[in-house]
Amino acid sequence: MSTEFEQSQKQLEELIGAKIELVISSGLYKGGYASRLEEVENHLVGVSHPMLRGALLPALRSTELLMKIEGNNCFYQATVSVARSTINVPIPLLWVKLVSALEKVQRRMFVRVPCSINAEVFYLGAGNDESEPAGEALSPPKEWFSARVSDISLGGVGLSVKKNSAPYCVEGGRYLLSMSIGGTAFFLVGKMVKILKKNESTVEAGLAYEGLTSFIEKLMGGYIRQQEFMTRG
C-alpha cells in the first residue's frame, strides 16, 4: 500500500462512527444510500450494510461506489469497490477497499443557501421505516402537490408546504420532486428526513436526495455559488 493510501487508512480509523453516504452512479441500484463507518482492518473498510426497502442492498463484488464521509467540520470522499459482506452478525457489514485515496472535500460544496423555487412533489411511498403522516390521513394520496423550495444544497432541499397539504408529508417517505433552475426543468428522487410544523399556514420539511446525476449536480452547484455570491453582496 502506498504512503498516500496508508495515510487514508489512518484518517479512516479516526473517523470510525461517522455518517456515510454510498453513491452508486449507474445501473439498477443507482442512488445514494445512508451508512456508517464501523471498522477499518487489513486495508478494508467495514460500513453498516446499506438497506433497500427494508432488505440488504444487493452489492456485487468489485462494484465501484463513491463513499462520502461526514467528518468533524469537514467532508471526505473516496472511490471504493465492494470486497465482501458479513451478514451473520448483529450489525451486517459491507466491506469495501479504497480505489482512490481519501480526499477532503471543500465545505462550500455542501453549503445550504436560501431560495424560492416553485416545485411539484409526488409521493412514491413509505421508505424503509414505518413512518406516520404529519397530518390526519393514514395514507397520503399518490398524486402531485405543490411546494416551495426554501433552501437548497447538494445534499437536499428544504420544502415549504401549505398546511392543507400536510397529510402528504410522511417522515421517511420517498418523493419525486419536479423543479426548474435557470429555465432547465428536471426530476429527482429524495427521502423526507425531517418535518417541522413552523406555523399555522405552512409545514417545513427537509428532503435528502437519493442521488444526483452529474448534470443536475453541475446545474445545482452553479446556482448555489450564484446564490452565495448574491447573499454576500
Q: What is the pLDDT of residue 46?
A: 95
Tell me what the mean pLDDT of segment 3-16 comes to: 85
* pLDDT score of 233 more than 60: no
**CATH code, domain carrying 87:** 2.30.110.10
- 176 and 63 together in one domain: no
Per-residue pLDDT of 50-88, as tens digits, reads 998 888 999 899 999 999 898 766 788 899 999 999 998
* pLDDT score of 13 more than 80: yes
Last residue of a domain, one of 66, 88, 105: 105
- 78 and 190 together in one domain: no
Q: Which residue has the higher pLDDT, 211 or 20?
A: 20
- 175 and 194 together in one domain: yes
Return the number of other C-beta atoms located less than 10 Å from residue 216's C-beta.
17
Tell me what the mean pLDDT of segment 208-214 comes to: 85
Report d(CA 174, CA 208) in Å as an integer: 10
Q: Using alpha carbons only, give the angle 134, 140, 142 rounded to the nearest 5 degrees.
A: 145
Last residue of a domain, one of 74, 105, 136: 105
- 114 and 215 together in one domain: yes
Q: What is the pLDDT of residue 187?
A: 95
Please give the mean pLDDT across all residues of the chain: 84
Phi, psi (deg, nearest 5) at residue 110: -110, 5
- 94 and 27 together in one domain: yes
- 50 and 137 together in one domain: no
- 78 and 164 together in one domain: no
- 128 and 99 together in one domain: no
Domain range for 210: 109-232
**CATH code, domain carrying 223:** 2.40.10.220
For residue 120, list its beta bridge partners. 146, 178
Q: What is the pLDDT of residue 113?
A: 87
The pTM of this model reads 0.52
Domain count, the chain: 2
Q: Tell me how long the chain is.
A: 233
Per-residue pLDDT of 127-179, as tens digits, reads 654 444 444 444 556 689 999 999 998 889 999 999 888 888 888 889 999 99
- On the 0-12 / 13-18 / 19+ scale of CB atoms within 10 A, 95 is buried
Last residue of a domain, one of 87, 105, 123: 105
- 95 and 151 together in one domain: no
- 133 and 218 together in one domain: yes
- 92 and 172 together in one domain: no
- 67 and 139 together in one domain: no
